[in-house]
Structure 1
């Protein structure tokens, strides 16, 4: 896979790995590795740290939590590792995983896991130019991407050994109150408290849940790898750190919180992380209708789930900004995240004002 489609960079200062130590550790656990590893970082991602480790005969990926303060339940490597292992036989669109190392056994001092690198096209803010997709192909890719989400939500999680992966009952309430509480802990002087948005979300939670499924939690086109031979096929979905068992509409709401489109505020469009506004891509409304038609799930009150997803995204960015604000990470890319938090909070307010939920 070329860096043009899955960009790698030199390891950022302060985030280096000890090459000799990692090499010995990997060779003791994965047979047949040849040569000395070249260690770089994947440029994408603002949360867990993802390293490319390339041997003469194998490409590996190491995932570890970020440095600095982390939410107690966040950045769980064993969670990612376990869900991908369980899904692989019935939902092939996940990487092959090798092993997980807990904190107490880790040469890094924190848990991590190792998986194979999946070769294919990596989508970022825009479609890779080499694909030459027109509007019809963009539409086909969009449908393929959301069909893969529907396929995930249809997996019998108990049958694959994930019945104890979480407590799906009450998922919506836990999510809303949990993200609200996390926000309170990371407010900085330059962001609003958005107490009105948090209060609305708690007051307007649906009376019941539409069902329970494996929810990815961060399902985005830029977390997908496209098949090299057939780029309309989703080869792998990455970044399972906040996967859980819960209401699938929360998952769809989280996904569409990232889905910028024409008519959105300029500061929201400026945050676009995926080519969701490319010609032929479905609008949020079309996606919700597509999902409802394919699953039979009533999406008539979807406004709540979208607003919940938008504010959750604000909290995620603020958690990252909090680490930067307090000097716990030196990544300059995080310097504007407080501004983004404010933009998303104001956007959530505008969605509430336009919502049919009263």
Structure 2
């Protein structure tokens, strides 16, 4: 067990993403009862958008989350909104981390930020930790846990929460489709074949939504954390920035756009670098994911192809926004240099995901 507790899920802070340690330590002492030990900061390195740090003072530890460097899109990366959502959601859905403090004072770390609890466990992304034994049974159990936790989230009663005040579920899907098309246009850099055909199809084939639920809207394996003691049981779910009340099938579609399977094209598997572990044989296929969700939730997923197609376009737009920031010199992160190729791959895959295509 000691070996598991030493499992490292952080990296040294990237040079261009360092924090003002003196100002941050002053803030921490004003909000928490801490000793006089040195502030230690490490970074969670897997994300491509918001910046997340592990902060420690002696035995006290927490996580700091802030927007990415440079200008950001209007209403995007709203740390105050995310902090407010978590305050209510944590007690209703304990996989959500407990928030501790929020600050709008940009003189501390260069932007607004919030601090939340530090959860411990495994995060599965492109490989598995050497500390655990993996086999087909393990892959299936992880798959089932991901589906079942999503069903559980969609069953949470949001009435009376801050999320209800911040959300507008009526017309959600229509706003999403037209909104993401607009975001793509504003972040456009290269002419990519198929974009006009895809956006026209999305805008003219919007299905009728089922009853609204809480949706995470960035639900994927590397946003989940699994127990050291029971490595197929989830203990944490992160990145609640896009959470709202809306169409639960949009949440399923988003999850499936990240769920790479073993027979996917190589460009889809490797577009963000290393291949996701979900592409390993033994994990659920997207079809199995859909079937289990439908069985567990009781929802009709007859139109799921539309939601998957839209999710690929939405993911393409997110990658395009990141690539736009790279092209504008707002970030120098070399991981983003070829994102335009992945955007093109996602557009092509979205077109192929339409029913009958």
TM-score of the two chains, using structure 2 as the length reference: 0.94
Instruction: Say whether 1:200 aligns with 2:201.
Output: yes
Instruction: Say whether 1:336 aligns with 2:331.
Output: no
For the 8 Å contact 2:140–2:284, the answer to whether it is kept is: yes
The equivalent of 1:277 in structure 2 is 279
The equivalent of 1:31 in structure 2 is 33
Deviations 1:30-76 (A, max 9, x none): 11345111112111100001111122112211111111221102111
Query: Gaps spanning 5+ residues in structure 1: where?
Result: none
Determine helix, strand or coil for the equivalent of 2:114: strand
The equivalent of 2:17 in structure 1 is 15
Per-residue deviation, 1:111: 1.0
Instruction: Say whether 1:92 aligns with 2:94.
Output: yes
Determine helix, strand or coil for the equivalent of 1:62: strand
Change in 2 beyond 3 A, CA 1:270/1:109: closer
For the 8 Å contact 2:66–2:111, the answer to whether it is kept is: yes
For the 8 Å contact 2:139–2:283, the answer to whether it is kept is: yes
The equivalent of 2:76 in structure 1 is 74
Change in 2 beyond 3 A, CA 1:329/1:63: same
The equivalent of 1:147 in structure 2 is 148
The equivalent of 1:137 in structure 2 is 138
Deviations 1:137-194 (A, max 9, x none): 2111211121111111100111444321210111111111111000000111364571
Instruction: Say whether 1:59 aligns with 2:61.
Output: yes
Q: Distance in 2 between matches of 1:147 and 1:261?
A: 19
For the 8 Å contact 2:23–2:109, the answer to whether it is kept is: no
Per-residue deviation, 1:126: 2.2
Change in 2 beyond 3 A, CA 1:71/1:2: farther
Query: Gaps spanning 5+ residues in structure 2: where?
Result: none
After superposition, the CA RMSD in angstroms is 1.8
Q: How does 1:152-231 map to 2 (within 5 A)?
A: 152-189=153-190, 191-192=192-193, 194-206=195-207, 208-231=208-231
TM-score of the two chains, using structure 1 as the length reference: 0.94
For the 8 Å contact 2:256–2:286, the answer to whether it is kept is: yes
Q: How does 1:300-339 map to 2 (within 5 A)?
A: 300-339=302-341
For the 8 Å contact 2:226–2:234, the answer to whether it is kept is: yes
The equivalent of 1:237 in structure 2 is 237
Per-residue deviation, 1:80: 1.8
Q: Distance in 2 between matches of 1:211 and 1:190?
A: 37
Q: Distance in 2 between matches of 1:108 and 1:37?
A: 14
The equivalent of 1:261 in structure 2 is 261
| Greater mean deviation of Cα atoms: 72-81 or 266-275 | 266-275
